[in-house]
Amino acid sequence: MADWATFAVVPEDGDHERYELYESRFGAAGLDLDLLAGPDVVLPFLRAHDPARHGWRDDVHCEGAVLVDPHRRVLLAFVQDGPTTCMRHRAAALDLLRHAWPGWQVRWTYDGPAEPRAYLGLDPGAVRDPRGQVHAGALLAPGDQELAEDDPLATVVTVGTDRCHLLAATGDHPVAEGPALLERLDSAPEHGRCGLAVLSGLHVDPARRRVGWWLLGAQAGAYEMASRWPGWTVEFWQDRWQEQTRATSGLFAPPPVDHLQALVDVRDEAREHWTGRRGAAPRGLARPVAADGSGALLGTGFLPDVPADLAPAALLSVDSAWRRAVRAAKGTA
């Protein structure tokens, strides 16, 4: 198992042809928290990773990607797991990220690693799954254990004004199935309504032959889904799940989000992340030792180490971004 991440860095002179490409086998884990350290910390951090000797990973095997262009002050990023992909924390995490990179254009790449490639003038199709297969999530029944989680790995699918189904949010978004999805849903368990903070959603209006969909991660070919639904109108709502709540007459009503509390939650998670409690101790700092006196090492997990000399600047960036975000949220900026 791995959480592969790809990092593209444009030289300071803006020459896209000389971009640098790095990768990390477990770098996608906590990547959105890494980015909250701001450009002064993140650029040397990314460059400290191994060069991507075999080039770009395809959108099946890439769990996160970042492109940093210091010349144009552009940051492109996506991950498949982290506070940015949690409904309760999504807006707050992106808000903090923009405040941590002041003066930069910060964009989420809903099409995964294809968008950084397109930005660099490269063929986005080179990272597509050559088999073109759709790996759809399984249907979930009411009472499924996954649905008891605070942030279930689930996709809500609403049909018309009276049908609500839940699918496992694994593999491709169900919008990629096209109209064949409706046949699969004919025998799917009914959920009545969904009040969960899910990862993605899809609304189908058969009478008007219209489709709207959203997600918090990335989907290969995100902007090309209309081709999967010939004769239908397809609207991509990006991360705006509120569009589905308005379209469904109460079938989908997730819990309200407390934005100020979410800002605190993400700030605290980022601080913990950058002080070394991320599965591996920072370089230059001793790993924690078991309290039983055995001398066994703890915290030797898979996440990349944090260089100790970067941690103070990272924490300063996180705290400064949080203060600016709170002032902006309260209208006192």
Cα separation, 149 vs 140, in Å, equals 13
Q: Looking at the domain assignment, is residue 241 inside a domain?
A: yes
Angle, CA 266 vertex, CA 236 and CA 109 arms, to 5°: 30
Residue 273, domain member (yes or no): no
Which residue from 176, 67, 175 is spatially nearest to 122, judged by alpha carbons?
67
State pLDDT tens for residues 276-326: 655 444 333 333 333 333 333 222 334 555 667 788 999 999 999 999 999
Which among 199, 82, 80 has a CA at the least distance from the CA of 147? 199
Average the pLDDT over 232-244 and give the result.
98
**Spatial distance between the Cα atoms of 21 and 316, rounded to a whole number of angstroms:** 27
Mean pLDDT for the chain overall: 89
Asked, for residue 324, whether it belongs to a domain, the answer is no
Domain tally for the chain? 1
Q: Please check whether residue 22 lies inside any domain of the structure.
A: no
Lowest mean pLDDT among 129-143, 204-218, 281-295, 319-333: 281-295
Does any domain span residue 45? no
Instruction: Indicate if the pLDDT at residue 232 is higher than 80.
Output: yes
Per-residue pLDDT at 114 exceeds 50: yes
- Per-residue pLDDT reduced to its tens digit, 46-75: 998 999 999 999 998 999 999 999 999 999
Give pLDDT tens digits for 162-179: 999 999 998 899 999 999
107 φ/ψ angles, rounded to the nearest 5 degrees: -130, 140
Whether the predicted pLDDT of 120 surpasses 90: yes
37 lies in some domain? no
> Is the four-CA dihedral 188, 151, 303, 323 of positive or negative sign?
positive
For residue 121, the number of C-alpha atoms closer than 13 Å in the C-beta half-sphere is 7
CA distance 174 to 330: 38
Domain residues for 183? 139-247
Residue 181 within any structural domain of the chain: yes
pLDDT at 292: 38
Distances (CA, A) of 101 to 38, 74, 85, 121, 168: 5, 9, 19, 24, 34
Residue 115 lies in a domain: no
In whole angstroms, what is the distance from residue 203 CA to residue 236 CA? 11
pTM: 0.90
